[in-house]
Amino acid sequence: MSTPIDAAAARLDPVTLAVLQGRLEQIADEMDATLYRSAFNPIIAEARDACHGLYHASTGDTLVQGSKGLPIFVGAMSFAVKAVIAKVAREGGLSPGDTFLFNDPYAGGTHLNDFRLVRPVFRGGELFCWLASVGHWLDIGGAVPGGYNPKATESFQEGVRIPPVKLIAAGEMRQDVLDILAANTRVPVSNWGDLNGQLNALDLGMRRLGALLDEYGEATIATAFDAFSDRAEALMRAAIHALPDGQYAFEDYLDNDGITETRLTIALDLRIEGDTMVLDFSRSAAAVQGPINIAEATTIAACYVALKHVFTDVPANAGCLRPIRFVVPDTTLLGAGAPRPMAGYTETILRLIGVIFGALAKADPARATAAPFGTINALSIAGHRKDGTRWVMFSFFGGGLGGNPESDGLSHANNPISTATIPPVEILEAAYPVVFTQWALRPDSAGAGTHRGGLGAIYEIETLTEADVFLLGERGTVPPFGTAGGSAAALNVFEWQTTEGMARPKLVSKVTDVHLSAGQRVRLQTPGGGGWGDPAGRDRARIRRDVRLGYVSAEAAARAYGMDGEA
């Protein structure tokens, strides 16, 4: 191992910093790839609902994030590491070879399905940094297979909640913790495979980081960490300073909380002062009975994702949040605590990201982007195979992104909370006793505009065994908004087959206890994205092309664009 260098030598030149940044990001990328290739659960293996990173030894701040992990986990994982740091400060006993495990959504988590593993990295007997892994496990108990219980009124109905505990103590696996995990899931083999994939990713990260530290020394890498954060702060301050000072308000809405039909407000007052920004969510709805509450850590993580979409050149580490102050009252559904249910956190953060887009569009119309489809449509289908074994299919689905000043929105895309991919139909059909009888773009689902939104999709699924169906979605009553004169997109629609025809949920986007016989189907029609700009400004040739390709019907083109007889 190289010897420490003095402060003068620690001033790294830009080339060395760039090399080290690439090397460190590669470590996180390799950790991601290791988990994706070894996980048993398609939501990790195919959809990539996971993340890895390096975190500061004393603060838990994000130091390095890979390019493949979910952006929503960047901020949230920092709070997870902080929770472990706080536990160690209270109880002591930290040793090389320890690994902590937990899924507590109120202590740096998101929802119960997301299991975090946090491991200390020691050098010369001193804590140097932390490595962490998070992955979405398929089932963690609770009233609903897959964990997305739209009727939950407390977290106990969503699944087992594990506070930070040592899974591995000084290199020795604790069988008692494994036994608890296995006893609290319908699919223990799947969760066991995902856990081992995460442990293997951490093992690889330890080897790669150790080799880098041997090559460059601890002082050099620590200096690089500081430089990365300082650069992210400087770039974010410059980006904020380029916006006009002022206060900009925006509101959007959630359909309901799964318990009552009351529409819920997500409101932002954004204030820009020089090179600083305040994101104040005080006017948002109060914490609710149903499972769409989120913790403050999740709110901050979602804000990071939204800002990263707008300020694309800012690096992914904690430095970019230094110029920003967050106001998230614990009385709102954005700052909720135990035991408020949080399974549907994805729906709330999508609306939160949208209001940030909307407020920033008022500050800088050139950055205006219409709303994306704004729901993951968390669909769980579960039953028993002919041999009696349990199966649980959970998946999320695509829709349209919003139009923007430069182009139409993407069709059948994923939401802006992540870089995850929609699980392929071939994988889902191979893993579960289901058949997709339709997987197609949804005509007339996009908001009209000079640049229209992207199209949503239609998914129709037939079950090959008896099965129970659960959906936790959104955008069933409040469509994705248009911007700069663009129109709203289509609403989300879910229905299922009965002996008397197709039925729809009373609460539109959320339902439990739907029972299907073998051969019956469910159908999901997802929203498109909102339109950007006055529809009258859209190029007529592009409208005719949309009609020819079936993206827009002749009737819809006549209504939205005045193309009656032209198309």
Q: How confident is the model at residue 65, as a pLDDT?
A: 85
- Model-level pTM? 0.93
Tokens representing residue 325 in the block: 């102050």
Q: Which residue has the tokens 């297979």?
A: 145
Q: How confident is the model at residue 565, as a pLDDT?
A: 57
Separation of alpha carbons 144 and 260, rounded Å: 19
The residue among 117, 131, 104 whose CA lies nearest residue 191 is: 117
- Alpha-carbon separation of residue 462 from 135, 437, 492, 500, 522 (angstroms): 28, 7, 20, 17, 7
Q: How confident is the model at residue 4, as a pLDDT?
A: 38
Q: How confident is the model at residue 531, as a pLDDT?
A: 97
Q: How confident is the model at residue 175, as a pLDDT?
A: 97
Q: How confident is the model at residue 312, as a pLDDT?
A: 85
Q: How confident is the model at residue 314, as a pLDDT?
A: 87
Separation of alpha carbons 341 and 348, rounded Å: 12
Separation of alpha carbons 560 and 530, rounded Å: 13
- The burial class, CB within 10 Å (0-12 / 13-18 / 19+), for 279 is buried
Mean pLDDT by 10 residues, the chain (567 residues): 39 91 95 96 90 95 84 82 97 96 92 97 97 96 94 96 97 97 96 98 98 97 95 95 96 97 97 98 98 95 89 87 96 97 95 93 87 95 94 95 95 80 91 97 98 98 97 97 95 97 95 96 98 96 97 96 72
Q: How many helices (H) and strands (E) does the chain have?
A: 11, 20
| pLDDT tens-place string over residues 77-114 | 899 999 999 999 999 999 999 999 999 999 887 999 99
Q: Which residue has the tokens 């494994």?
A: 178
Query: Residue 51 in contact with residue 65, Cβ under 8 Å?
Result: yes
The residue among 259, 451, 279 whose CA lies nearest residue 363 is: 279
Whether the bond into 405 is cis, omega within 30 of 0:
no
Separation of alpha carbons 527 and 375, rounded Å: 8
